[in-house]
Amino acid sequence: MKPQVAFFDFTSCEGCQLNKLNLENDLLDILKHVDIVEFREAMDDKADHYDIAFIEGSISSPSCVERIHDIRRRSDILVALGSCAVNGGINAMKNLHPIDEVRETVYGKDKYLFATLPAMAVSSVVKVDYEVRGCPMNQQDFLKLLIALVLGKQAPKYNSPVCVECKLKENECLYNRGMVCLGPVTRGGCDALCPSFGQFCTGCRGILSNPNLDGMLEIMTNHGISLDEAKKRMLLFNSNEVQL
């Protein structure tokens, strides 16, 4: 029997799900390997057990916690899809402010009607077996992981900086063009997408496992931005990962 696969979304923009739907060319090939049993944006169907559950979005309310526990209980393999699910992503910037202030800004006087929690990575709440990084999640990564799982092989892991792929493509470094780039401490695997189009890396795939953050901040401030601004850039996608 083909593996039963489901997709769920939590606190996110749902961009990752849309990114999957954009895989038109490969969608039919994917469906040869797996049965999709739950996918809110594509179909409406419920099941008791999933071989693989893909989770998009961060965990940011008590109801999210309850739901993710329920999904984990019904799933053999659980995969975090995209920055929000992997490390809290952009949502986690919320955690840099007092939670009461955040609630008031968003809900005004109705703030007591909405229970909220700090925006957490899925792995902060339940066991996560694999991850697909990026904001939105990288399509090729997603396909590679899916194929690896179907074949029962080791899933690819990325723990080399964006600079590696950037150099292999012989891009002119943005530091030579007066920009400030987070590539040196950001996990690659995106084929240096942003620098290849002249845009600096904002760190959407998360920070390396063994980074030199002080060194990175020094590079950034030596290239013309304030320490405050440098820290803000580093926190954009990684508020939960780095302590500055």
Residue 184 binds another protein, judged by CB under 8 A: yes
Cα–Cα distance measured from residue 239 to residue 232, given in angstroms and rounded to the nearest whole number:
9
Task: Choose between 13 and 148: whose C-beta lies nearer to another protein.
Answer: 148
User: Where in the chain does DSSP place strands (E)?
Assistant: 4-9, 35-39, 50-56, 75-81, 130-132
Instruction: Choose the contact partner of 78 out of another protein, ligand SF4, none; CB within 5 to 8 A by kind.
Output: none
* DSSP-derived secondary structure letter, 161: B
Structure tokens at 112: 């007591």
Residue 229 binds another protein, judged by CB under 8 A: no
* DSSP-derived secondary structure letter, 2: P
Considering the complex, what minimum distance in angstroms separates the CB of residue 105 from ligand SF4? 26
Residue 184 binds ligand SF4, judged by CB under 6 A: yes
Cα–Cα distance measured from residue 242 to residue 139, given in angstroms and rounded to the nearest whole number:
26
Task: Choose between 33 and 74: whose C-beta lies nearer to another protein.
Answer: 33
Instruction: Work out the number of other CB atoms within 10 angstroms of the CB of residue 21.
Output: 11
Size of the residue set binding ligand SF4 (CB under 6 A)? 23
Considering the complex, what minimum distance in angstroms separates the CB of residue 19 from ligand SF4? 12
| Interface of this chain with another protein, residues 204 to 223, rule: CB under 8 A | 208-212, 214-216, 218-219, 222
- Residues 6+ away with beta carbon under 8 Å from 221: 227, 230
Given 161, 189, 203, 206, the residue binding another protein (CB under 8 A):
161
Structure tokens at 109: 């006087």
Residue 193 binds ligand SF4, judged by CB under 6 A: yes
Alpha helices, DSSP H, located in 1-98? 15-21, 24-33, 62-73, 82-87
Task: Choose between 175 and 231: whose C-beta lies nearer to ligand SF4.
Answer: 175
Structure tokens at 21: 């739907």
Residue 196 binds another protein, judged by CB under 8 A: no
Residue 34 binds another protein, judged by CB under 8 A: no
Q: Under the rule (CB under 8 A), what is the footprint of another protein?
A: 26, 29-30, 32-33, 143-144, 147-148, 150-151, 153, 159-161, 163-164, 167-173, 175-177, 181, 183-185, 208-212, 214-216, 218-219, 222
